[in-house]
Structure 1
Amino acid sequence: MDEDSALIEQILREDQQQNGVGSHENDAYAWKTVSYQKRNKKALKPSQETIAGDLRLDTASDVFRTIEQYSEDRRRRAAEAQRAAAAASAVDVVAIKGSKRHSDDEDSDEEAPGAENGGVVEVKKTKPKKPKKPKVTVGEAAAKIDAAHLGAFLVDITASYEEQQDILLMRFADYFGRAFASVTSSQFPWLKIFKESTVAKMVDIPLSHISEDVYKTSVDWLAQRSPEALGSFVLWSLDSILADFASHQGTTKGSKKVVQQTSSKSQVAIFTVLAMTLRRKPDVLISLLPIMGDNLKYQGQDKLPVTVWVVVQASQGDLAVGLYMWVRLLLPVLCGKSCNPQSRDLILQLLERMLSLPKARTILVNGAVKKGERLVPPSALELLMRVTFPSPSARVKATERFEAAYPVLKDVALAGSPGSKAVKQVAQQILPYAAKAAGEGVANLSSEACDIFIWCLTQNPECYKQWDVLYLDNLEASVSVLRKLSDELKKKSIKHATLDPLKQTMKRFRQKNEEALTESENADCATLLKDADKYCKIILGRVSRWGGCLKSMIFVSVALALGAAIMSQNMQDWDLDLKKLTTMFNLQ
């Protein structure tokens, strides 16, 4: 170890001499070897001062060159890494700035400047815009439907599914679904159209776009389907419309705009096939009445436009069916306390449209019975009386519209051959309703109810027995009817087949009046009983006088008929004259 130290010292000295270092400095900076006996076997570490002094020496010494090169390499690599990171950051900043400049001026043809020192130029990738599909209106889609092609299609599916009518009808709907598939809901906002349209405009939605040939081909084919299959098809179509209605109602006002979607079975197609079916086979709707009347899914004023549209389509096919459905589905809503003015107006528009059709009264009176039921049953007539003849304080703007429609509806309710079994039956059904309305103290309502009550008496003698049972429990109504009877007998305007039931009934009433007066302690009741008894006396007197006149008239008519027969010497003329005279003096 000492030999190594001496060797190093000699090498350093020689380097100093070559560099012009003085001798006096050599003594000052001469290397000295310090050794300890106990550590002579271990390498001596140089002190910090010695190392610092060595660093001040010329670095060209071969002894430290390896260490210095390693340190310099490490520092160089660190500096290069820092410069690379800085360059990468500068490239990113330039790229972002170039992208912003490009987005701010999309139409500029100048290229964005690159980054300094050969920076990368960022090119923004623009997504190609999808071409917008052309908007197809209902009319344009309907114009493309060819009646010959439709007819061939119906022949083909009929041959394939002749025994499966449900599938047949679905394929029929699919045909129109494909025809209207390109029509979006924005082109057919049916709910908005219904809410903003009158019934007169609503009736032709959407069939106004269908050609006459396509319509005729369709309805002729529908006429061959069974009522059961058509009923299921109508219900399925109605459910589809209400499902779409529910989706519209589910969208809140504050929600984002919903993208218009095209359904495989366009709503236009559903409305089209349903309207065709209801017009061609309106009776199907009557078979669905129990379902529509009991299921809440089909009820509610919010769904009223759909119900009105369905009924008006059926009325286009059969006016009697339209009134039948109006009375049972819409009249209860109309008379309900929660019916708002908009709903009332819509329901009345439908009624007014039906009654304004040519020969509407004749058609409805002649078809007053549908499937064994009257178009306007007794319970409906009572509702109509109450909304048409309310108390003065309860009158509304719609009251005048009721008053205009009531006479026709009343004629339909009372329609039938006088004395027939059907008329006798309806007279017995109506009489209790009339008795109740006549005793409510509303002048106009009471007068109308009394007229109907007396009509019942003239149509069926059994109604006198009903009156006998109701007499004391409905004393106020009975007094009103007796007063009315007395006035009509005075005018001789009453038309009874026979006056005997009336005469016998008046006698029984007098007995009841006398008995009730002796037992009654109520002053108001006693007053009513006295009034009733007074009118009973008047009626009995007039019936007796009118009975003699009737006998004389009948005798004269028979004598005239015999004389005419003798003069004509023709029995056929005799039969004819007798019929004429009988008609002339008929008191019915």
Structure 2
Amino acid sequence: MVHNEQKKNQGCKGNKLLISVSVLGSSGPIRFVVNEGELVGTVIDIALKSYAREGRYLFLDRILMSFFFIPLVLDHMHRFLITDSVDLHEVHETAASNGGANHIDHGWQKVSYPKRQRKTKSKADPEKPNLTRLNGTLTNGGPNVFHSLEQQSEDRRRRILEAQRAYAADVVDADAKVKNNRSDLDDDDDSDLEGVKPNGKPAEVEKKVKQKKPKKPKVTVAEAAAKIDPAFLSVHLAELNGEQQEIQMQKFANFYGKAFQEVVAGQFPWMKMFRESTITKLADIPLSHISDDVYKTSADWISQQSLEALGFFVLWSLDIILEDLVAQQASAKGSKKSVQQPSSKSKVGIFVALAMVLRRKPDALISVLPKLREESKYQGQDKLPVIIWMIIQASRGDLAVGLYMWAHHLLPIVGGKNCNPQSRDLILQLVEWILSASKARTILVNAAVRKGERLVPPASFEILMRVTFPASSSRVKATERFEAIYPTVKEVALAGSHGSKAMKQVSVQIFHFAFKAAGDGTPELSKEAAGIVIWSLNQNAECYRIWEKAYLDNLEASVAVLRRLSEDWKQHSAKLTTLDPLRETVKNFRNKNEKAMSNRADAVRQSLFQEADKYCKHISGKLSRGHGCLKALAFLVVAFAVGAAVVTPNIDPSDWSKLSEAIGTADWDKLSEALSTADWNKLSKVFSS
């Protein structure tokens, strides 16, 4: 911005001009006072040329007259001044007529400052007439005052593209048409238009072609894992002591994150690996690349952390993995929703740290099971591969934890209506992998009750029973696979200490759903459920009373149980620890049947009562014959004892009293069991002694 102020100095013959030059982006204007005449045009000409070469935009303005200037990178910028208020040609002609033909004003109007001239004359140094003041400082006012600036501009000018010269003529014509309300350009202009763009702006300096940086070699997971130093890891973990355990766990994961930071996502496409890999291969991802020393160092440190901190870490890590899952899904679908973009770096580090925690402390996964069930962000078919991978890692540490998580968390998904074949296949693959482990049956049966909780609770066992024995029209390809795993899982579900308080409670729960399933119209399910009802009766005599109350309400189920008991009497009677509750229950059922049949109920109910009564009579006959046989056996024992006494007259009288007491208070059921397994040779020796 250039300001020239004009002041009239009455009575003063000299004229001076105050020049103020401002450049956009500069810290402030440059001001200096010059004498009238050629000096003004020379100074401004040089200044404008210099700034124009640098590509700066200058705007000229003054109080009395306003000039607007668009700088083109030209050799003589004063010839391209455009004014919006005064025709410079008129000013030039007027000045020429008044001042003479030899007067050169470079298109600028002289401005008189009589008053200022009078003040400045006294201060001027007569010996130094060419000194002017620049911002209050004396400076050389010669035409070469901007010589150094011109040199710098010339250097910059050399870097302007030569190809831009072709646009020079077009630019002048375009500017003249667009700005027709402004003054015409000087006809005598013979400047070059080098380095000008079509839009009138100075051409930019030619950009240097950036050399492509050499691509870094791709680092694989195995290569990054091989660089981990167990000693350095041990030192790092030792430095974490003293901090909160949750923070320690996060820094533990950060260590592995840095160790694998050079591994790009393409080297570890975990979503694709989880989707395409079998359960067997999934179990080794990604710890197969970790050395034994590194794993042992980490596992020893993890074992010192609390279960609460480990549970926090499991959910924290799972959240990071699921965030990456959502980002990758959105990126693959091209979603426009504002979601976090998937990182180019892989998640190997977080998978490694989480796998180590789950293998060393499998209980950490059980501790977060309630949140996995309740919070929706952990649910859904798309999250299932991640959850299964976590269960696999925990199973590598404790096989029982794997079956626990499968029965409590995954099996209910199979029983749901929205389970698709892919999810069902993954869930089946997991339990098949668990049961195929070495000594899996022995391990799981012995750990059937774990810290007061059953590996396979009654609710999960009911789901398994129904998906294994569906209606014939509902059978699918997976049904045969469920039939293969059912016996082992059933054994685990029914395992426990016979007669214990916990087992009695479980037997009642199992009796309720099994009795209901026995009345189902599906033959295979009804037969299997009836067998489980008989198992419940043997575990807890309370189930007999529950059966009597529900006998008439679910007559179909009662008939199914009586049929199974009658047809497989030898198999089930051998497992019953006592027959007295059964004998009493069957007797009550016969009484109810007689009353119901005498009331002439509907035909369907009548047929059910008749069938039930038929099985009750058959069972009663088995029970009565067994009772008579036991009495005969007891008589034979007494006779044998008497014979032994005759042969051995010196028998101790106390032995007779013991034998008499034993026979008088004998439990015939227990006696039957004792006689069936008795060693008669030993028994003979006992009586003979």
Q: Do Structure 1 and Structure 2 share a fold, with TM-score over 0.5?
A: yes
- Corresponding position of 1:426: 506
Percent identity of paired positions between Structure 1 and Structure 2: 57
CA separation of 1:516 and 1:255: change in aligned 2, threshold 3 A: closer
Asked if the contact 2:328–2:342 (Cα under 8 Å) also holds between the matched residues in 1, the reply is no
Task: Work out whether 1:287 is the aligned partner of 2:367.
Answer: yes
Structure 2 counterpart SS, 1:250: helix
Match of 1:156 among 231, 239, 263: 239
CA separation of 1:89 and 1:308: change in aligned 2, threshold 3 A: closer
CA separation of 1:492 and 1:202: change in aligned 2, threshold 3 A: closer
Identify, as 1 or 2, the structure richer in helix. 1
Alpha-carbon distance in structure 1 between the residues aligned to 2:454 and 2:419? 25
- Corresponding position of 1:144: 227
Structure 2 counterpart SS, 1:247: helix
Structure 1 letter corresponding to 2:592: K
Structure 1 letter corresponding to 2:359: R
- Corresponding position of 2:418: 338
- Corresponding position of 2:43: none
User: TM-score if structure 1 supplies the norm length?
Assistant: 0.73
Alpha-carbon distance in structure 2 between the residues aligned to 1:551 and 1:322? 52
Give the superposition deviation at 1:492: 7.2
Task: Work out whether 1:438 is the aligned partner of 2:510.
Answer: no
Matches within 5 A, 1:234-273: 234-254=314-334, 261-262=343-344, 267-273=347-353
Structure 2 letter corresponding to 1:453: V
Give the superposition deviation at 1:421: 2.9
Structure 1 letter corresponding to 2:381: Q
Give the superposition deviation at 1:561: 11
CA separation of 1:260 and 1:458: change in aligned 2, threshold 3 A: closer
CA separation of 1:470 and 1:184: change in aligned 2, threshold 3 A: same
Give the superposition deviation at 1:414: 0.6
Give the superposition deviation at 1:225: 0.8
Give the superposition deviation at 1:391: 1.5
Structure 1 range deviating more: 187-196 or 243-252: 243-252
Matches within 5 A, 1:169-568: 169-254=249-334, 261-262=343-344, 267-489=347-569, 493-519=573-599, 521-552=601-632
Give the superposition deviation at 1:583: 9.7
The CA deviation string for residues 377-406 of structure 1, in whole angstroms up to 9 with x for no partner, is 111111111111111111111111111100
Give the superposition deviation at 1:144: 0.4
Structure 1 letter corresponding to 2:529: A
Asked if the contact 1:428–1:456 (Cα under 8 Å) also holds between the matched residues in 2, the reply is yes
Asked if the contact 1:186–1:260 (Cα under 8 Å) also holds between the matched residues in 2, the reply is no
Match of 2:164 among 92, 97, 104: 92
Alpha-carbon distance in structure 2 between the residues aligned to 1:174 and 1:558? 82
Give the superposition deviation at 1:494: 3.9
Give the superposition deviation at 1:516: 2.6
Alpha-carbon distance in structure 2 between the residues aligned to 1:243 and 1:560? 82
Alpha-carbon distance in structure 2 between the residues aligned to 1:211 and 1:368? 34
Match of 2:677 among 578, 585, 588: 585
Structure 1 counterpart SS, 2:265: coil
Alpha-carbon distance in structure 2 between the residues aligned to 1:178 and 1:205? 19
The CA deviation string for residues 455-513 of structure 1, in whole angstroms up to 9 with x for no partner, is 11122222111111111111001001111111233667542222111111111112222
Alpha-carbon distance in structure 1 between the residues aligned to 2:642 and 2:278? 63
Alpha-carbon distance in structure 2 between the residues aligned to 1:208 and 1:501? 58
Alpha-carbon distance in structure 2 between the residues aligned to 1:259 and 1:233? 24
- Corresponding position of 2:151: none
Q: CA RMSD in A?
A: 3.7
Asked if the contact 2:565–2:572 (Cα under 8 Å) also holds between the matched residues in 1, the reply is no
Task: Work out whether 1:127 is the aligned partner of 2:210.
Answer: yes
Give the superposition deviation at 1:126: 1.2
Give the superposition deviation at 1:554: 6.8
CA separation of 1:206 and 1:537: change in aligned 2, threshold 3 A: same
Alpha-carbon distance in structure 1 between the residues aligned to 2:594 and 2:640? 46
Alpha-carbon distance in structure 2 between the residues aligned to 1:559 and 1:386? 54
Structure 2 letter corresponding to 1:300: G
Alpha-carbon distance in structure 2 between the residues aligned to 1:563 and 1:383? 60
- Corresponding position of 1:74: none
Give the superposition deviation at 1:514: 2.4
Give the superposition deviation at 1:517: 3.0
Structure 1 letter corresponding to 2:536: C
Alpha-carbon distance in structure 2 between the residues aligned to 1:129 and 1:246? 33
May I ask how many residue pairs the two structures share in their alignment? 475
Give the superposition deviation at 1:252: 4.3
Structure 1 letter corresponding to 2:527: S
Asked if the contact 2:508–2:540 (Cα under 8 Å) also holds between the matched residues in 1, the reply is yes
The CA deviation string for residues 1-60 of structure 1, in whole angstroms up to 9 with x for no partner, is xxxxxxxxxxxxxxxxxxxxxxxxxxxxxxxxxxxxxxxxxxxxxxxxxxxxxxxxxxxx
Asked if the contact 1:468–1:505 (Cα under 8 Å) also holds between the matched residues in 2, the reply is yes
Alpha-carbon distance in structure 2 between the residues aligned to 1:545 and 1:556? 17
Structure 2 counterpart SS, 1:182: coil
CA separation of 1:136 and 1:546: change in aligned 2, threshold 3 A: same
Asked if the contact 2:165–2:194 (Cα under 8 Å) also holds between the matched residues in 1, the reply is no
Alpha-carbon distance in structure 2 between the residues aligned to 1:290 and 1:562? 68
Structure 1 letter corresponding to 2:229: D
Alpha-carbon distance in structure 1 between the residues aligned to 2:573 and 2:161? 112
Structure 1 range deviating more: 354-363 or 122-131: 122-131
Asked if the contact 1:185–1:262 (Cα under 8 Å) also holds between the matched residues in 2, the reply is yes
Asked if the contact 1:389–1:444 (Cα under 8 Å) also holds between the matched residues in 2, the reply is yes
Structure 1 letter corresponding to 2:517: A
Alpha-carbon distance in structure 2 between the residues aligned to 1:357 and 1:562? 58
Give the superposition deviation at 1:335: 2.0
Asked if the contact 1:147–1:217 (Cα under 8 Å) also holds between the matched residues in 2, the reply is yes
Give the superposition deviation at 1:341: 1.3
Alpha-carbon distance in structure 2 between the residues aligned to 1:554 and 1:342? 63
The CA deviation string for residues 36-89 of structure 1, in whole angstroms up to 9 with x for no partner, is xxxxxxxxxxxxxxxxxxxxxxxxxxxxxx99xx99xxxxx9xxxxxxxxxx99
Alpha-carbon distance in structure 2 between the residues aligned to 1:559 and 1:458? 34
The CA deviation string for residues 227-286 of structure 1, in whole angstroms up to 9 with x for no partner, is 111111111111111111111122243479x997455xx511111111111111111111
User: TM-score if structure 2 supplies the norm length?
Assistant: 0.63
Structure 2 letter corresponding to 1:408: T
Matches within 5 A, 1:43-82: none
Alpha-carbon distance in structure 1 between the residues aligned to 2:232 and 2:493? 47
Instruction: List alignment gaps of at least 5 residues for structure 1.
Output: 1-65, 72-76, 78-87, 97-116, 572-577
Alpha-carbon distance in structure 2 between the residues aligned to 1:562 and 1:141? 88
Give the superposition deviation at 1:130: 2.9
Structure 1 letter corresponding to 2:521: G
Asked if the contact 1:439–1:480 (Cα under 8 Å) also holds between the matched residues in 2, the reply is yes
